[in-house]
Amino acid sequence: MKLGVTELFQSEASLPETSLGQRSRMMEFDQLLVWVTVLLLLAGVVMVYSASIAMPDSSSAATEVKGHHYLARQAVFVMVGLFAGVMAFRVRIETWQRLAPYMLVAGLVLLVVVLIPGISKEVKGARRWIGLGSLRFQPSELMKLVFVIYAADYTVRKQQYMDKLRKGFLPMASAVAAVGVLLLWEPDLGAFGVIVCIAMGILFLGGFNVIWFGGMMGLLVSIFTLAILFSPWRQERMIAFFNPWTADPLGKGYQLTHSLIAFGRGELFGVGLGASVEKLQYLPEAHTDFLLAVIGEELGLAGVLIVTFLFYWIVRRAFEIGRQAIVLDNTFAGLAAKGIGIWIGAQTFINMGVNLGLLPTKGLTLPLMSYGGSGVLINCIGLAILLRIDYENRSMMRGTRT
């Protein structure tokens, strides 16, 4: 016989304290969110290995060692990310809110440091990484998380000024502009686009004045347009994006054409795990920016749809957790949770759009899955904060301390 709500609480109240404590602990975090995250991380390790196994020169005597290089490093990145996530989960949400302004300052300092010759590592003309011995750290990845925390805190602190130009609009616009200038200097237009989505999304959800919101959107569109108009290589990318097969198939359109060939070869169920042809030195950055193309070729439309659904589920769950936090009168936590959803959703959308030829080519990885220590680390920390928000929501509903 099914119990009503009253009977259910009465039955729980009658349980021994140890038994009730065990049941409560089992329900204090979203286990499905944890498993979906771990599944994407592990699938990423497998696909990174598949996409990178053919990268070493076959004439090298150390081919076998180099062939496992990216697998070993990605596995380490995942383990470090999971450990960092566990540590981040232990931090109370109010602590993140208190640290928000200091995190923004630290993030800006790192964006300045990455531009200093001798400290930064330049790859293909871009200075996006700080050298740490054999490792590299990408400050723009950290800035995505920083802006989730900062924008949520800013919206809560400035709630009464959301319709004011000087106190509501200009401070956030200045912060976005400062980050934008530094990121475009690297250059990293893709990361700036994600950060803009995060900031604008949180402000919109926090009740930002519609007029100023529209003004900021217009300003940002102008900035992106000017960034393209005054950059010849970005113009070439745009031309190749609109017609990659004839405009410049061996130049700026090379990645896109081979990405589309990979999806075409995969058809419904793929050519089989490890059997991709495009990863054999044809598709550049197959283990990072274009990992989805390898998934499409080896696992087909079915594999791409499964990956898409898992990311959709994370984004939807983030908005559900955020809505629940706001109902519980924890606005900062609610906006932060939704900001994490916007971050993961926007970056996933851009990466998938680039792979499928829906958006111009940008250097953005697929969250949790693509090769890269900075991305995996920060993604794990961000999702750990989301889990912490859910944990505090559940604790608050039970009337227990977090």
Residue 389 lies in a domain: yes
The confidence score (pLDDT) of residue 156 equals: 93
In this predicted structure, the answer to whether residue 163 has a pLDDT above a threshold of 90 is no
In this predicted structure, the answer to whether residue 20 has a pLDDT above a threshold of 70 is no
Cα separations (Å) of 269 from 103, 272, 295, 298? 44, 8, 10, 8
pLDDT in tens, 235-262: 777 777 777 777 666 767 788 889 999 9
SS3 state at 90? coil
The confidence score (pLDDT) of residue 11 equals: 37
Q: What is the pTM of this model?
A: 0.87
Residue 9 lies in a domain: no
User: What's the one-letter identity of residue 293?
Assistant: A
Residue 10 lies in a domain: no
Residue 254 lies in a domain: yes
pLDDT classification of 194: cutoffs 50, 70, 90:
very high
Q: Total structural domains in the chain?
A: 1
The confidence score (pLDDT) of residue 19 equals: 42
Handedness of CA 332, 333, 336, 342 (dihedral sign): negative
Q: For 122-189, give the DSSP string.
A: EETTEEEEEEETTEEE-HHHHHHHHHHHHHHHHHHHTGGGTT-IIIIIHHHHHHHHHHHHHHHHTT-H
* φ/ψ bin of 188: left (φ > 0), alpha (ψ from -120 to 50), beta (otherwise): beta
* Average pLDDT along the chain: 85
pLDDT in tens, 37-79: 999 999 999 999 999 987 764 334 344 445 588 999 999 999 9
Residue 25 lies in a domain: no
Average pLDDT over residues 28-45: 94
Domain that holds residue 95: 31-56+64-398
Residue 37 lies in a domain: yes
The confidence score (pLDDT) of residue 135 equals: 78
pLDDT classification of 402: cutoffs 50, 70, 90:
low
pLDDT in tens, 342-396: 999 999 999 999 999 888 887 789 999 999 999 999 999 999 999 999 999 999 9
Question: Which contacts of 12-21 are long-range, i.e. CB under 8 A and separated by 24 or more positions?
Answer: none
CA dihedral of residues 91, 97, 101, 103 (deg, nearest 10): 30
In this predicted structure, the answer to whether residue 24 has a pLDDT above a threshold of 50 is no
Cα separations (Å) of 210 from 34, 150, 168, 346? 36, 20, 12, 21
Residue 48 lies in a domain: yes
Residue 22 lies in a domain: no
Bridge partners (DSSP) of residue 131 are 136
